[in-house]
Amino acid sequence: MAVIRWGLLALLLLQQLSEIRSLTGHVCTHWRSTSVMVYTKATKQQTQRYTTGCGFWGWGTCTRYRYTISYYNKAVYKLQYNLAQACCQGWKQTGSTCNTPFCSRGCVHGSCTAPNLCTCTRGYIGTRCHADINECTGYHGCQHNCVNTAGSYRCTCRTGYVLSGTKNCNDINECTGSHGCQHNCVNTAGSYRCTCRTGYVLSGTKNCNDIDECSTNKGGCSQVCSNIRGSYRCSCNVGYALQADRHLCRDIDECSTGNGGCAHNCTNTVGSFFCTCRTGFVLDGNGLTCSEHDECLTSHHGCEQKCNNLLESYYCSCNKGYVLAANKKLCNDVDECSNGTHACEHNCHNTRGSYTCLCRNGYELAYDGRGCTDVDECSNGTHACDHNCHNTRGSYTCSCRNGYELASDGRGCIDVDECSNRTHACDHNCHNTHGSYMCSCRNGYELASDGRECTDADECSNGTHVCEHNCHNTRGSYTCSCRNGYELASDGHGCTGQRMETAKETASEEQSTGAPLGLIIGVIFAVIVAVVLIAISVFFVCRHKRNIVRRPRTECYSAPTATQSQDYNNVTYENTEFLLASKHRTGKNRDGRQHTGPWTVQTDTTNASNPDKPYEGILVKDGEEQSAYTKLSFRGEVPAPIGEYQTLSAYQRRAQQNDYEYSA
């Protein structure tokens, strides 16, 4: 029995070992428990009820209990442990191998490359590769803008640039297209700007206006600025020379040439120079040479500008542009403009120690600062001529085109009326036009090809005459005549009558039968008048009878008498319109009846209390005097309007029947 048991155990181990060897790779072994059911013998104690005799002589029956033991097979579960193999944690079985890694939470954008380890595709990050990488927060390589996308990114450019490749941006040169700049277009990074040529300033963003450079800091000129169209010129005062930059005025260094004539030292000053002597010498009175024992070396000489040493004395002198005062010490400015020592061509403006030149209107200052050159107003557009401009020295004159004459201001041009001053060449009529005139001809003439002369129009040939028979052309007109047997009508164009013989016979017959014919005509006229009068009477009688027949039933209602208390003048109308009767017809009707009371007018408004009977209105007078009926009143309760105001049509019919006009 033991041998069999050990044999079964060995067989079980061999089976388990064979199962372990069936998996390869990341394989782990472990003990696996199995629940096995076995049967064992067991006993069970039970209580059994039974009956037995009891009492006197055992005649009664009693219930008794007793214990019994029964045997049965009991099922018992026992754990059986077996050696088993499976893929290690983090690996899953694929076929017979355990080499496939397993990530329990999964990889969203990537693959599982080791147990619970995801390798993400490019552009994603995280333990599950679920988070997008925002490449734009780091180094993305875009030259301008970076736009993050799912798993990647893209580059864009700022306004004024275009993408080159995938990351770089190239500037768009707007100046190669329609930029709209009046002068120059300058391309800038991402945009462009307009600039103007030298001497102009940008107006807005694209237009250019001329700059008056001299109005701001004298255009950069150090001394004199003269504005010209699109530019300006700088010039210098006396004692200065314009530098190569054409703006600054360079002082003329008199000391650079021959030491300025100084015997010892020459010192250049702005616009002038002066001489000094070495120690132990004093400047002579000429301001150039030096002599010993110069009193001028002391500070007590009192000269304002120059001290000139003499033998045992000295004298004072002044710089160029100044003159010695009466005290022989001070220096007064020389007014070159007043004493005529200036070199200005036109106007002179004195300055301290010098002067400047100005030009009259129509001129501008030359480069030397002294001369004046003419301004051509006709070329630069500053003139005020209406038509033609002729430049003159210092000014200009105006002239007009043919057909115009110069106005009193010498600038405007007014039209010459050739027709009034009789300078025209028209044969007949003259009509003035702006700058010229036109000719026309009287009736019967037509204008020649030169537009001035008038030639006779042959109405008989061109078919414009109105003669009934014959046409005869005359100068400027024509005459009409008739064929034999006709005579010219009073209008001078038509022809009337028959041949003369027939006309005479007819006249004689009329004379012989004149009296009977007049009588017949009178009788016929009287008959016609009688027939017309009879027809008119019959017409009115028939019309009156027809009106009587056509009158509605409501006309039989009589108007309220004067004793009734109804006030027809105080009716409040709820309808949307008023009806007014015409006041110019208040007499008798055509049937001869005189209206002395109000009319009854039937309306089409429904009576709420009696739908089968419509309301009736009465046209009444304003007062007792004979006048037009001007108000429409209703008997009893005034009806509320329904739909359109329909009383108008009813009143219109009644007014026509009674020969009265109305207005609404």
Q: For 278-315, what is each residue's pLDDT tens digit?
A: 876 778 889 999 877 667 777 778 898 999 877 667 88
Q: Is the pLDDT of residue 651 over 50?
A: no
Q: How far is CA 439 from CA 177, 402, 453, 457, in A?
A: 55, 17, 8, 16
The pLDDT of 537-545, averaged and rounded, is 76
CA dist., res. 416 & res. 431, Å (int): 12
**Which of these, 323, 309, 356, 362, lies nearest to 337 by C-alpha position?**
356
Q: What is the pLDDT of residue 3?
A: 57
Is residue 571 pLDDT above 70, yes or no? no
- Residues 178-191 as b/e (b if ≥16 CB within 10 A, e otherwise) read ebebbeebebeeee
Whether the Cβ atoms of residue 128 and residue 107 lie closer than 8 Å to each other: yes
The tens digit of pLDDT for each residue in 119-159 reads: 999 889 999 999 988 989 888 899 999 999 988 999 999 98
* Ramachandran assignment for 492, one of left (phi > 0), alpha (psi -120 to 50 degrees), beta (any other): left
Percentage of the chain beyond pLDDT 90 is 25
DSSP class of residue 544 equals H
Residue whose tokens read 């009073």: 490
**Could you write out the DSSP letters of every residue in 626-662?**
S--EEEEEESSSPPPP-SS-THHHHHHHHHHHTT--E
pLDDT digit string, tens, across residues 61-86: 888 888 888 888 888 888 888 888 88
Residue 20 has pLDDT above 80, yes or no: no
Torsion sign over Cα 415, 419, 422, 427: positive
Report pLDDT for 219: 85
- The model's pLDDT over 573-610, given as tens digits with 9 standing for 90+, comes to 333 233 333 223 333 444 444 434 443 333 444 344 44
Amino acid at 253: D
Give the pLDDT confidence score for residue 314 in this predicted structure.
Answer: 83
Decide if pLDDT at 174 tops 60.
yes
Residue 321: DSSP 8-state: T
Residue 495 is predicted with a pLDDT of 94
User: Which residue from 576, 557, 578, 556 is spatially nearest to 635, judged by alpha carbons?
Assistant: 557
652: nearest Cα among 620, 619, 621, 628:
619
pLDDT-based confidence at residue 114 (cuts at 50, 70, 90)? very high
Query: Would strands 477-481 and 487-488 be described as parallel, antiparallel, or unpaired?
Result: unpaired
> How many angstroms separate the CA atoms of 288 and 408, rounded?
64
The reply to whether 451 falls in a domain is yes
Which pLDDT score, from 0 to 100, does residue 190 have? 85
DSSP for residue 79 = E
Look at the chain and report how many structural domains it folds into. 1
In a domain, 587, yes or no: no
Q: What confidence tier does 567 reach under pLDDT thresholds 50, 70, 90?
A: very low
pLDDT classification of 12: cutoffs 50, 70, 90: low
Question: Given pLDDT bands bounded at 50, 70 and 90, which one contains residue 270?
Answer: confident
Tell me what pLDDT residue 435 has: 85
Rounded CA separation 436/413 (Å): 13
pLDDT at 498 (0 to 100): 56
Tokens of 10: 């060995």
* 224 pLDDT tier (thresholds 50, 70, 90): very high
Residue 135: inside a domain, yes or no?
A: no
Per-residue pLDDT at 431: 93
Q: What is the mean pLDDT of the chain?
A: 76
Q: What is the CATH number of the domain that holds 446?
A: 2.10.25.10
pLDDT of 564 reads 33
Mean per-residue pLDDT, 192-198: 90
Could you tell me the residue range of the domain that residue 448 belongs to? 420-457
Q: Hey, how many other C-beta atoms are within 10 angstroms of the C-beta on 541? A: 11
Whole-number Å distance between alpha carbons of 632 and 617: 6
Determine contact, residues 151/122, Cβ cutoff 8 Å.
Answer: yes
Q: Does 453 reside within a domain?
A: yes
Q: Helices 500-512 and 514-550, interaxial angle, to 10°?
A: 80
Half-sphere exposure of 652 (CA within 13 A, CB side): 9
Q: Are 497 and 486 in contact (CB under 8 A)?
A: yes
Predicted pLDDT at 155: 94
**Cβ neighbours of 249 (radius 10 Å):** 21
Residues of the chain above pLDDT 70, percent? 74
DSSP 427-470: SSEEEEETTEEEEE--TTEEE-TTSS-EEE--HHHHT----SSE
The yes-or-no verdict on residue 221 having pLDDT over 60 is: yes
| Average pLDDT value for residue range 349-378 | 90
More confident position, 594 or 536: 536
459-507 per-position pLDDT tens digit: 898 888 999 999 999 988 999 999 998 999 999 899 997 544 444 444 4
Q: Contacts for 469-474 with beta carbons within 8 Å, 24 or more apart? A: 469/495
Task: Please indicate, yes or no, if residue 529 is contained in any of the structural domains.
Answer: no
Check residue 664 and give its pLDDT.
Answer: 32
Q: What is the pLDDT of residue 646?
A: 34
> Which residues partner with 156 through β-bridges?
145
